[in-house]
Amino acid sequence: MSIKMITDQAYTMIEGGICAAKGIRAGGLNCGLNPDPDKYDLAMFVSDTDCEAAAVYTQNKVKGAPILVTKEHLAKNGGKVRAVIANSKNANTCNADGMEKAEEMCALAADAMGLKTEEIAVASTGVIGETLPIEPIRSHIDALAADLSYDGGGRAEYAIMTTDTVAKEVAVEFTLDGKVCHLGGMAKGSGMIHPNMATTLNFITTDAAISSDLLQKMLSEIVKVTYNCMSVDGDTSTNDMVLVMANGLAGNDRIVSDAGHPGKVEEAPTTGYGIVYKALWLVMVNLTRMLAADGEGAGKFITCTVKGAKDDKSAIAVAKSIISSSLVKCAIFGADANSGRIMCALGYADADVDVSKVDIDLASDAGVMPAYRNGYAESFDEDFAKNLLSCEEIEIRLDLHDGAGEATAWGCDMTYDYVRINGDYRS
């Protein structure tokens, strides 16, 4: 499914994903973890110079060994990372030898590229609870290192995809201190998506110069209104990670202050920090939308916008509650204007809402239909509603008429194919 991109006139959307930034080489290949020789399963990318780094990880109590090793390496290396190695097909989670295998992946990558082990971040995605075979990785690491190129981002992206049906890459170009800068990312994810920090595997690089502390600050804030406002199926993965790396090769003055911090991402940035912040938001929000639209078995992309909440936190709670509702998702799948399910999901959201003030509209390219006014259902034409909900992109709009809080959340419908895919996942 092709969805509209969110753009900004001050930023140019470009190709390249993680390789849009200067000095980033990437690659991918099949090492044998995936029995399909045409499906890549091992990826790596490296910066020509040291990178300031920031990351957020799953809040699931069960965490994959790669998460723990990456956190440890960032701490040991003063918040810097030089390269990433990642595999699909096996999550390396809940395994007695998981930490050992994750560390060995880093050591293999370091040896192949002439780096230190602690300069490497590692990530894995796939089946939980199956021992990760290390020999296929060990025997293909030199070939993977030789495959790295400045236009290899697409190969790396293909290697981390699991049940994804489309590649997810976004990049922007912008100017900072008279220097042309780039910020781009890649993501994978289709199922087991209901984040509590981030979701899936997401890697973002930039050639802008900025401190790791400020990268961490903006990443932790932006994730709350992007990845954390998405749900496909209500399951928070054990291996979720978002890693941002900045190598400074664009040549701008290194950003060391968050002066000019944007109050809202819609506002035009006025400082270096604000400009990079907006670039990171643009990449993350578009990757979020792409992830939601490619939910397992999905046929429709759903956006839920909430305004008039008591505060932004309340707005997020309402939007996420609605986008996560299995009954709402099923109604959208069936093009059934059963909007009482939306009111139901609103009612159990963890937010203070006066339901007697609530207005709800359903919208798509076919038009707009008032569903509720002042908490009561509106009459509607069934044929018009069916046509409206048969479009690929559906918007649920709420006005709570109770404050200035607002939020947007993203998701997809739930189809028969979701059950089929997950009933036979290991094959």
Catalytic (active site) residue 125: no
Of 130, 132, 126, which Cα lies nearest the Cα of 102? Answer: 132
Structure-block tokens of residue 37: 């020789």
Catalytic one among 58, 70, 117, 199? 199
d(CA 346, CA 341): 9
Burial of 42 (0-12, 13-18, 19+ CB in 10 A): buried
Contact predicate 85/119, CB 8 Å: no
Residue with tokens 């709009």: 397
d(CA 284, CA 94): 29
Structure-block tokens of residue 31: 């090492």
> Which contacts qualify for 106-112: CB closer than 8 Å, 24 or more apart?
106/69, 106/73, 108/137, 108/138, 108/141, 109/44, 109/83, 109/85, 109/141, 109/145, 110/83, 111/141, 112/141, 112/142, 112/144, 112/145
C-alpha dihedral (314, 315, 319, 325), degrees to nearest 10: 20
Residue with tokens 């002066």: 259
Strands, DSSP E only, in 256-399? 301-309, 359-364, 367-373, 376-377, 393-399
Give the residue numbers marked as catalytic.
199
